[in-house]
Structure 1
Amino acid sequence: MYLREHYFDNAATSFPDADILREALDFSLEHWANPSSIHAAGTDAKKALESCRAECAAALGVKPQTIFFTSGGTESDHIPLLSILSRPQKGSFIVSAIEHPALREMAKMITNTGWKMITVNPDKNGFIQPQSIIDALQEDTVFVTVMAVNNETGAVQDIPGIASALNEYSASHRKVFFHVDCVQAAGKIPLNLNIKGIDSAAFSAHKIHGPRGAGILYLNREINSFLKGGGQEKSVRSGTENLFGAKAFASCLKKYLISEKNPSSMNSFRDQELITSSFIKKIKTLKNCRIIPSCRENESDDHHFSPFVLQASFIGIPGQVMERALSEKGFYISTGSACSSSHAGRPVLDTMQLSAKEKESAVRFSFDTSCTQKAADELFEAVKEICLLFT
């Protein structure tokens, strides 16, 4: 049996909240009909679905009509991006180089249709600067996407700054659609969607202790969805709705979303800041350890990163070797995004001007709200033992 306290791969998937999943199962069994059916059972299911939508909206601090249920973060990223294909004229779109494969790989596919993709690289610390986005804009640019929290380094991007810069640009140019991947932001940093200029945002339930196969698209601007079907979710996302997933996601947002409205979540966030800071100080003492990016070693800069995601490199120990060695000791980490683990290369780290040795030996530690100082200390001791074997 895997010990939850020794699981440090929460950026890949988080430990499911059993109570929430059981409650959602009972809820979906009670309201089992198709929400699109016009008979009494269908109407009941529709009301139940809308109650879940209202709960999600309340947790996120937005209007219910801006919430659309999807199958997960990937689909929530795809819907806004693919909507550009419904435009009568082709143009350009901007994708930051640190995006998740869900956006990065789909963007490459769109270029096959005649659209031009403009890639904006981060600085050496993994941050996308607002001015870099503005400098990359062209007259025919219609879409920009920048993730809120990077899934490999934990770098918190300046979404308010980018949104503000795009708003200023749009005052004298065409309005550019701004999408934000919030999959690694929900439950990992205090989140505010009420920023002028954010047109859409993607969320995934299994990253915040919910079930796989459930997602949310926040959409604050009308789009013509490229994917068509039965017209559910106001034709933004067709397909029979997942009531179980909607209910579970609503409960997870209410319980785990980091917000001033949720004091316990803020306490967990502050506790994790201390735990991660302590962990960084300890692993820095290990021979050939490098924190990625190096600026994170300075406590004054650490607030620019989520305390729930940490990247480090142990020069001389390949990342996969460290991952397997820790697994044999009962500790679970990763070498990066689980969605790209079967592919060679580290695209995000490639953009950060790291040495080949740093990239080869990089691993990711990703924590969750149940992490304790004791568990983090035990992880450090395990990492230390492995490092000593290679000295």
Structure 2
Amino acid sequence: MTDIQTNHYFDWASTSPADKTILQEALDETVAVWGNPSSIHAAGKEARELLEQARKRCADVLGVKAEKLYFTSGGTESDHIPLLSVLNRPQKGTVLISSIEHSAIREMALEMKKCGMEVISIPSDKDGIITPEAVVKSLTPETVIVCVMAVNNETGAIQPVYEIADAITSATAGKRRPKFHVDCVQAAGKIPFDLSCAGIDSAAFSAHKICGPRGIGLLYMKDAVEPFLKGGGQEKGMRSGTENVFGALAFAKCLEKYYINKKNEGQLEHFNRQKEITQDFVKKLAGISGCTIIPEARIEEPGKYSPWVVQAAFKNIPGQVMLRALDSEGFYISTGSACSARKNKRPILDAMHITPQISETAVRFSFGPLTTKTAVDELFDKVSEIAGRFNN
């Protein structure tokens, strides 16, 4: 990918350009240490040591114990393991998922329904936020797990997961507390995030959203569960399959470089700069005739939304048309989640009660650590030009 293409790439929420230096370093180290980490001979032990070093490095960044982290094939599998584990219960229960979840959660929950579980959708408010009150109201005595993502992948809405965790604990005091799972795929490396919150029982992460390789994810589990899927017993039985040492090492390096916390002052400063760039972009978009910011609340309350994701609709311009028009000019955006791009469905916008007319014309702009203010200004100019062709 050339520099110009990278500069005009605005689909970071789907995937990120790889950090070539990190991937090359990880490749060189794992080419040299090529054993199977589960083998007990010297080559295997050497690979095991490298794998455990990667786990410890990830844990140090996330602020958790290394034994609470499991390497997986990606964010989807990290979402599935806690969710599917409830199928091992002798009695079926109720699964609560937010109405704005990624398809990794939403579609799997529908499959669990076929297995006898009751699935309840927690309603979103019009601003794309799942409130603690909505979660508590949806709880039942049979609830076994609650799933609410940290940052929505289409609107950028930051969910109050700490408050939700506390609300679940308070509402179930003296009773069996359901597990609380958080999809952190759009939070890691995007917003300051503290995984040490006592009420978060599990969390999912994916490397390719923060300049790492595809095919490697992380699962945080506060307490071990009985996994639904079985195999060779790798990752302490939580996730069987030969371990991806290269991916684990690359993921650790990416977390160290891109995770946003007080220890990583450079990324924290970049996060604050991006907030200013995105707020300026949102305000200018709102000034385009026929443009609707989704949700409109982010214009006045930018702090409730990730500065890396912006959703907007343009009157008389179907989302696919805007996408193709920008693509022809060398600007790359999306109409929403890459996982749902070919289905032409917008369940997250439906959950927010966005009208079909607006949903059909909605597109997503998403940014990353290589995105510059100049590039965002050029994006605005091009979007404004295209919108003018359809609404003059």
TM-score by structure 2 length? Answer: 0.98
> Which residue in the other structure is 1:113 paired with?
115
Q: Deviations over 1:217-241 (max 9, x none)?
A: 0111121000100111010001110
> Which residue in the other structure is 2:345 paired with?
345
> Which residue in the other structure is 1:72 paired with?
74
> Which residue in the other structure is 1:329 paired with?
329
Q: How does 1:1-391 map to 2 (within 5 A)?
A: 3-298=5-300, 301-391=301-391
Amino acid at match of 2:93: G
CA shift for structure 1 position 57: 0.3
Amino acid at match of 1:162: I
Amino acid at match of 2:48: K
CA shift for structure 1 position 344: 2.6
CA shift for structure 1 position 345: 1.7
CA shift for structure 1 position 354: 1.3
Q: Deviations over 1:131-188 (max 9, x none)?
A: 1111111111110000000000000000011000111123221121000000000111
CA distance in 1, matches of 2:33, 2:69: 20
CA distance in 2, matches of 1:369, 1:41: 37
Instruction: Give the match's secondary structure for 2:310.
Output: strand
CA distance in 2, matches of 1:112, 1:281: 45
Instruction: Give the match's secondary structure for 1:326.
Output: helix
Amino acid at match of 2:357: K
Amino acid at match of 2:289: K
Instruction: Give the match's secondary structure for 1:390.
Output: helix
CA shift for structure 1 position 54: 0.3
CA distance in 2, matches of 1:233, 1:222: 11
Q: Deviations over 1:109-129 (max 9, x none)?
A: 010011100111100000001
CA distance in 1, matches of 2:283, 2:160: 26
CA distance in 2, matches of 1:241, 1:31: 13
Instruction: Give the match's secondary structure for 1:384.
Output: helix
Q: Deviations over 1:194-253 (max 9, x none)?
A: 101100000000001000000000111121000100111010001110000000000000
Q: Deviations over 1:327-363 (max 9, x none)?
A: 0000000000000111132000001111221111000
Over 2 Å off, 4+ runs: none
CA distance in 2, matches of 1:110, 1:204: 23
Amino acid at match of 1:256: Y
CA distance in 2, matches of 1:175, 1:281: 43
CA shift for structure 1 position 309: 0.5
TM-score by structure 1 length? Answer: 0.98
The number of equivalent residue pairs is 389
CA distance in 2, matches of 1:180, 1:243: 25
Amino acid at match of 1:323: L
Amino acid at match of 2:230: K
CA distance in 2, matches of 1:364, 1:221: 36
CA distance in 2, matches of 1:189, 1:199: 20
CA distance in 1, matches of 2:223, 2:172: 15
Instruction: Give the match's secondary structure for 2:78.
Output: helix
Which segments of 5 or more consecutive residues in structure 2 lack a partner in the other structure? none
CA distance in 2, matches of 1:242, 1:321: 40
CA distance in 2, matches of 1:274, 1:344: 32
